[in-house]
Every structure is written in structure tokens, then in C-alpha cells.
Structure 1
Amino acid sequence: MSLYSRLSDYLEEHSDDAGPVRGSFSLPRIGMIWLAANLVVTTLLTGTLFVPGVEYGLVVVLIVLGTVIGAAALVTIGNIGTRTGLPTMALTRGPFGTRGSLLPVAANVIILMGWSWVQAMLAGIALDFLVQSLTGFSNPVLFALVCQTLVVILAIFGHTGIAKVEPWLAVLILAIVAYIFVIAFTTFSPAEFAAIPADPSLGYTPILVLDVVIATAISWTVLSADFNRFAATSRAGVIGSGVGYTLSTVISMIVGATAIGFVVLSGGEAIPFDPVTIVTPFGAPLALVIFLSVMATNTMVVYGMVTTVVNAVPGGKKLRFLPTALVVGVISIIGASWFGLLEQFTTFLVTIGALFAPVFAIMIADYYIVKRGTYTKDILRQRDGRYWYSGGVNWVAVIVWVIGAVTAYAFTYLLPTPIGATIPAFVLTFVLYLAVSLPSRSKTPAERSVHLTEATARDGARA
């Protein structure tokens, strides 16, 4: 047997499955998972986008408000994972159908690929800063490619270890965060930060800030059931993820806004979403933390892409882990050289919100109301059954999703509303899906809610 074959067989044996699992994680452990997951430099740098475009004090309020609103969707989707044992993309089979779910799955892979590119670029920039300060050599694109190559190797062989190390990296990042706050507020007073004049020419408005903060939560919601299906109880999943996500996001974004505010007050040039801009006044330790945190988080992102592709269709013959990882990995490495994406980061986040806020509105309406809080074991079938709909696709959900996404784009670019685009698009999609789906609910008999691991075990016992 060749080395490739032995590696492939080993990874198949040790890779995660998209089937239902029975969770055992406590509330504190779920909370720490979410605290570690989002306490990363991408969230921190998102905060640098807002100042000085919008007043510092208002930015802090909008970060808190948008995070709480976004977390509501995150924990609601995550709770479906706890109650069924299934990851997020597997749950899309419920409303979209066995084959129809491939549409949001494909969108999710594209979004995760974009995240992997962004994070590789940030790690490359941070590594370039460290190398340049020591040797004078500078090539951010080269270092981004090197970083992403390391990430792919870790995603294939070391994802379990990274998951264990990430909480410790979060502790290190919290220490650096405390350091930044101390330096910032002992050098300048809070009143001086609040007095930084807003610069509308930068293109940011309070409504856009709110939408970007909510979109950040939406981007993490694609993984909410993946994490929360391991919670022992709904209470552990809901409270743990809600508190962990809210704390990490609020802390990270506010420290980003504070760091860029510090640069402005110091007379420097405020370049948003640029690691070097905030690393320069705070030193090499921050660059090292940025590099390590991005490497850890990006490893899990790439691994998530691979497992999503491998388990896209329930039952039947699945793609093998190693060749899929190699193909996905090569694409992620090549894309890490596209630094122009960093200049379009706001558009990237708005796109995530427009695509997935309607998806989650449909999922919440379908599970909690249309399906009465129950998904049956048919969701694990490759074809036929309750979630086959018409040829494997629920065209009602697909059409409503398109309407919701188009509405989100219209509210962003054509018809701005006082509360942004994400909230009205979410509400419209939710109501529209219920309006067209509830009339058919009476034709479907109600079933007792049961964790899918129990249903699977019961069927196995009968056999």
C-alpha cells in the first residue's frame, strides 16, 4: 500500500462525520469555545473600519447592539444543532430539500474560502512585518502563500490539536487586548477618543456599521450548529454560545476601534483593516499574536470547508477526505495571493449578510414553526422521504431565499432604511416563508421531537 493510501485511510478513520452526535459539553466549555473562536484578529480589524468614519462613542453602542441582534440568530440556529445533533449545513436539508440544500452548502464553501483567503493575507502581512523588522526583506504575498500552505497542512493533519490550543491563544490575545486598552487610555482620555471628529468621506455611516456588525454574526452562524451540537443541553448551548460570542465580538471590535482611534490621536494615518497600522504603535508582540491567531482560526476554516464538501449529501458514497482536502487546499493557497480582496472586505461582509440572513430566517421558521420543532430521521436519507419535496428540492424555500437576498442588496445599495438592510430582509424572508409554507403544515402529521441519535439507535435496534 502506498504512503498516500495509508494517509488517506487514516484520515478517513479519524475525520468527523456529518451524522448526528449526542453532545456532552457543559455550558462553560461551550462558552469558552465561542470565546476562543471569535476572539481573533479578523474581528478586531473589523472594528478598525468604523473609526473615524463614525464617532467613537456611537461605534461602541452600535457594536454592542449589532452583536446582540446577530447573536440572537446565531444561538437560535445553534439550538437546532443541539436538539438534532446535526451541523448547520446538514440542517439546510430540512427547509431546502436533500438536493436543494446543496445551494446554501455551495454558498457556504465560497464564503469560507473567502474567509480563508482574507485570514491568510492578514497572517502574511503580520509575518512580513516581523521578518522585515529583523532582516529588511519584505514580500507580503509570498508570506501569505507560505502561511496558507502551513494552514492546509495543519487542517489535514493537525486540526484536533489546533482546536485544543485555540482557547490558550484566546487567553494570550486577551492579555494583548488588555495591554492595548491600558496604553490607549493612559495616553489619551476617553473624552479625547469620544471627541475624534467623524469623517463621512470615508464612506461609513451608523447604519452601515450596524449592518457589518450583524453580518459578522451571520458569518459565524454558518458554524453555530457545528459547535453547539456538542452541547449537553439546550441551555448550555444557548447561554454558552450567546455569552461567549457576544463577549468576544464586543471586546475584539471595540479594541480595534480603540487602536485605530489611538493612531488618529497620535497623528498617524488611519488605514482600516491593515494589521501594520495598529501593530506599529503597539509593537512586534501584537504582530506575533495576529499571526498565531489567524493560523489557528484559519486551520479550522479550511477544515470546515473540507468536511462540508465531503458530507454535502447524506448517505451514499461520500467524497474521500484527503483528495478533497488537497483540491480545496490548493485553491485556498492560490487565492491567498489576491490581496485586492482586502480592499473589498466591507462588500464581502455585506454579501455574507445578504446571502445567509435569508437562509437562517428560512431555517428558523421551518424548524420551529412549520416543522413544529422536529426533524425526523428522513433528513439523513439520500433520497425520498419527508425532505425530498419535488425531486429533492423545496422550490418554495429557494424562491423565498432569492427574494430575501435581492431585498437585502436593494436595502443596502438602492433603498436604505433607518435600520439597515439585514434586519428588514430577515423579517421579510421569515414572514414570506411562513405565509407560503404554513397552509401545507396541516397536511403533515405532527411528530414527537426526538434527538436524531435516538432515532438512529432505535432503528438499529429494530434491525
Structure 2
Amino acid sequence: MSTKTSSGSAAGPVIERHSIDYVPWSERRGKLWHQAPFWFTGNFVLPTMVIGFIGPEVGLSAGFTFLAVVLGAGFGTFFMAFHANQGPRMGLPQMIQSRAQFGSRGVIVPFLATVFVYIGFMVFDVILATQGIGLVLPDPKWFWYPVLTALSIVIAVIGHDLLHFVQRWLTYLLLIAFAITTVLAFTTLPAPAAGHAGGWDLTGFLVEFSLAAGYNISYAVYVSDYSRYLPASSSAPKLIFFTYLGAAGSAVWLMGLGGLLASRIPKVDAISSIKQVGDNLFPGFGTIVVLVSTLALISIMGVNAYGAMLTSVSGLDAFKPVRATVRPRVIGLVVVGLITVIAALAIPDDYLGSFNNFVLLMLYFLVPWTAVNLVDFYAVRHGRYAITEIFNPKGIYGRWSWRGLLAYSIGFVAMIPFFALTDLFVGPVANLLGGADLSFAVGLIVAGGLYLLFSRGLDRRAEEEARERSQRELEGDGAVW
């Protein structure tokens, strides 16, 4: 590899100038361990805790809920963390890389699902953040939804470095606040009555497992957005480890705490339960913890807005070239913010059922994408892509790539009999299993396996020649590796 790879010590401009374009080696910076606090704070938000509420609601004990969370989040994070390695190898945001598997226009299918994920999370985040503010201030939705969304948009406009900075320092506040809260939950809440303690239920266990797995798999669409500035020579095992540590650790902790609270507090609610437990230390401490959580929600809204912008610009660029400048970034972020506010105002007050179905829908649409994308990177192309060709609609990756589209489509269709959307649709196989949802396993195996099969005829020699030309164009004659 060329010695042009940056040591990673220099800071970038105050307002990020890159968007969907390639990050040159000379601008690479950052430390691998920063991925851990970034993804810890990114996942340590109240919607994560809501996932843990589900286990006791479907009859599981807090202990079995925790086991389902450990296995589910651990499984889902496995796929998410392996996407992190794509950032420094390719120097691109996460979703635009999918053009290599789906084509520059064919990729619009997973793009649409991904934007839905980003905006959906922003909607739930702004609702919870407003409820948190309501503990100390009047909380009219018409005021706080636009204000909090605008604040997150400002963070996203400044971009990558500020997002990393905020996430890293919020980690320390969250660790302190929730370590105390978790101890208080174990020591001050009354044990559940015998009739409400829950126990073992296979269907409930699989439901909790699927929700925890799907929730963390959903972060796969973000990962390279925040690792693409790392030096190209970054250690893959260390990068994957730190990403996994942050995302899985926070999910297990907060979902597990949610299961504990739901098993001991009737009609559990994210905001009121945290306040109740925290106030057992001293009156007002619970409010402090909720406000710290609100800061984390605003920060992750910035992360979601940033990702939605990158994906939207990538989609538009496939049909009409978009200059990678600050202006389209700002326009894209403003549009994302407006959609978020409108959707948040329209959503019913009883959002928990909506949130559960939203998480499952994320799982359904993203599982076949992550399978195709990871199989292509690790088993087919082994991380070797012609970057300039990704931006060339007439290049080797084409506008429509039948391999990725067909594998994704068949994988998605194969999942349908296993779907279990409460009150919306329960597939015949899921119905036979008592409502248990195993669609993620089917989607991963079918989509990933078919893509590997379809890719056997790829002309890798021609692509390798294109890759070498691409590297010379991007980094100079001595940069081919």
C-alpha cells in the first residue's frame, strides 16, 4: 500500500465538505477505539430500552428477556460490525457502496428502505426527547418537534467530526447516569408478584430475540459513514471489535434494563420509569437521567439525519449527477427534517405498537441487503472495488445489476411466510410457530447464498484492471495495492 495513507492526526474542516464522494488517503484521520464510544452512545437511547419492554409483555421473566436480548443483539451486531471494515477500505459512505451489487439505479430499492429506517428512528427519537423535556418545561409538540429536529440538523450539517465528538463525550455522562440507575432498579424496585413475574415462553423468547437482532441489524446502514475517514491501513479485527463492543454492549445493557423495569413496573413507560427509579436516589435525580437521555436522543437524531441525507443524495445522483458539495447536503438535511416533523405530529400517542412493527419492518427489508452486501465484500470481491466505477453509471457495475436485485428479491419473498407483524400480517409458517418470527434467518441464508451462487460468473480480471486504474486516478501512480 502507498505511504500516502494519513496518520490520522489532522483535524478536518469545521463544516464537513465531503458527502457521497470518496475520502482521499491524505484526509484520513481518527482512532479505531473512537468507534466504540460512538456506537455505544448511538445505541444507548431510550428506543433501545423500549425493545426490552417486550419480553415481559409477552410473558417472559426478566432473566429470560435478558437472555433473548444477549443472543439477539449479539447476533444482529455481528452483521453490523462487519460493515465497519468497508469504510476505510473504500472511503465511501455505507449505502452508495451497494451500487456494486445492485447497480447505480437498481440500488434504489434498498435505498428507499434505508431512508425509511433513518426517518422512522428520528420520529421516535423526537417524540421521546420531547417527553423528556416535558419533565421540566411545557412540551407542546408543535414547538419542540421542529426545534429539536432543527438542532439535530445543525449537528448533521457540521458533519462527521462533530458527530463523533458529541457521541464520544456523551458516553461518559451516560455511563455514570445509567450505572447509578441500573443499581437503583435492582435494589429499590419491588420484586414482581408471583402472578406477574413471567417465565419461559418459546414464542415470546423468539419475538424478543428477533426484535433485538433486527434493531441492531438496522445500524448496518450507518456504519461506514463513520469509519470512512479512518486510514486505509486500519486493522480490520480491531475496527470490527470496537464497533461490536460499543453497539452490542449498549444494546444488551439498555434492553436488559428495559426488561427489568417492565417486569417490576406496571404499565411501564420509558420516561416515567427512568424518572421513578432515579428519584429513589433523591428527588430530581430521575429527571437528570432523563435529560441526559434526551441529549443522547438529539445526538442520534443528528446521526440519523446525516445518514438519511447521504442515502437520499446517493439515490438522486443515480438519476441526475449531484455535486458533492455542502449545498446539496444542507438541502437534503432540511427535507429530511421537514418529513420527520410532519410524521412525528401525525403518529398516534400510543407509539409502542407502532415502534415494534417498525423494528420488524426494518428487519425484513434490511436482512437481504446486509446478506448481499457482506457476501459481496468478504466472499466475492474481497474488498477490492473500482471506486471511480461506482460513480460511473455506464461503468462495469452498470445501472441495474441482476445478481444483487434477484438475490435480494428472492430472499425477501422467502421471508414472507415467516413474517409476524402484530395486527398487520402473520405469515403461515409464523402462525404455525405460534407467532414466532424466524424470517431473519431465512433472509440471510437465501439472499446471501443466492448472491454467492449468481456471482460465480463475474469477470474479476476485468474488474481488477478497472480497480487499478481507479486507484491511480484517485491516489496517484504509486497507490495501487
TM-score (norm 2): 0.81
Separation (CA, whole Å) in 1 of partners of 2:127 and 2:371: 32
Separation (CA, whole Å) in 2 of partners of 1:256 and 1:32: 21
Separation (CA, whole Å) in 2 of partners of 1:38 and 1:221: 12
Separation (CA, whole Å) in 1 of partners of 2:389 and 2:194: 52
Percent identity (aligned): 23
Separation (CA, whole Å) in 1 of partners of 2:381 and 2:91: 17
Which residue number in structure 2 is paired with residue 298 of structure 1? 301
**Are the counterparts in 2 of residues 129 and 276 from structure 1 also a CA contact under 8 Å?**
no
Q: What's the offset of the Cα at 1:170?
A: 1.9
**Are the counterparts in 1 of residues 93 and 228 from structure 2 also a CA contact under 8 Å?**
yes
Q: Residue 379 of structure 1 is aligned with which of 389, 403, 427?
A: 389
What letter corresponds to residue 32 of structure 1 in structure 2? Answer: P
Matched, 1:441 2:432: no
Which residue number in structure 1 is paired with residue 417 of structure 2? 410
CA pair 42-384 structure 1, distance change in 2 beyond 3 A: same
Separation (CA, whole Å) in 2 of partners of 1:338 and 1:452: 47
Which residue number in structure 1 is paired with residue 184 of structure 2? 183
Separation (CA, whole Å) in 2 of partners of 1:66 and 1:78: 19
Q: What's the offset of the Cα at 1:164?
A: 1.2
Q: What's the offset of the Cα at 1:293?
A: 1.1
Separation (CA, whole Å) in 1 of partners of 2:21 and 2:193: 50
Separation (CA, whole Å) in 2 of partners of 1:275 and 1:13: 34
What letter corresponds to residue 244 of structure 1 in structure 2? Answer: G
Which residue number in structure 2 is paired with residue 213 of structure 1? 212
Which residue number in structure 2 is paired with residue 240 of structure 1? 242
CA pair 170-44 structure 1, distance change in 2 beyond 3 A: farther
Which residue number in structure 1 is paired with residue 152 of structure 2? 151
Q: Secondary structure at the match of 1:18?
A: coil
CA pair 296-450 structure 1, distance change in 2 beyond 3 A: farther
Q: What's the offset of the Cα at 1:288?
A: 0.8
What letter corresponds to residue 433 of structure 1 in structure 2? Answer: Y
Separation (CA, whole Å) in 2 of partners of 1:278 and 1:379: 50
**Are the counterparts in 1 of residues 472 and 479 from structure 2 also a CA contact under 8 Å?**
no
Separation (CA, whole Å) in 1 of partners of 2:330 and 2:261: 41
Deviation per residue, 1:248-278 (Å, 9 max, x gap): 1111211222233332xxxx3335xx42344
Q: Residue 290 of structure 2 is aligned with which of 274, 281, 287?
A: 287
Q: What's the offset of the Cα at 1:457?
A: 1.2
Deviation per residue, 1:258-317 (Å, 9 max, x gap): 233332xxxx3335xx42344334321122122211111112211222233234437943
1:74-93 mapped onto 2 (5 Å cutoff): 74-93=80-99
Separation (CA, whole Å) in 1 of partners of 2:135 and 2:151: 18
Q: What's the offset of the Cα at 1:215?
A: 0.6
CA pair 369-269 structure 1, distance change in 2 beyond 3 A: closer
Separation (CA, whole Å) in 2 of partners of 1:373 and 1:69: 23
Separation (CA, whole Å) in 2 of partners of 1:406 and 1:459: 46
Q: What's the offset of the Cα at 1:322?
A: 2.7
Separation (CA, whole Å) in 1 of partners of 2:469 and 2:257: 40
**Are the counterparts in 2 of residues 177 and 255 from structure 1 also a CA contact under 8 Å?**
no
Which residue number in structure 1 is paired with residue 341 of structure 2? 333
CA pair 156-369 structure 1, distance change in 2 beyond 3 A: closer
Separation (CA, whole Å) in 2 of partners of 1:229 and 1:194: 51
Which residue number in structure 1 is paired with residue 313 of structure 2? 310
1:90-239 mapped onto 2 (5 Å cutoff): 90-131=96-137, 137=138, 139-140=140-141, 142-157=143-158, 160-187=161-188, 197-198=197-198, 205-231=204-230, 232-239=234-241
What letter corresponds to residue 334 of structure 1 in structure 2? Answer: I
What letter corresponds to residue 276 of structure 2 in structure 1? Answer: T
Unpaired runs of 5+ residues, structure 1, are 1-10, 132-136
Unpaired runs of 5+ residues, structure 2, are 1-12, 279-285, 420-425
CA RMSD of aligned residues (A): 3.2
CA pair 461-258 structure 1, distance change in 2 beyond 3 A: closer
Q: What's the offset of the Cα at 1:139?
A: 3.7
Separation (CA, whole Å) in 1 of partners of 2:225 and 2:139: 38
Which residue number in structure 1 is paired with residue 444 of structure 2? 426
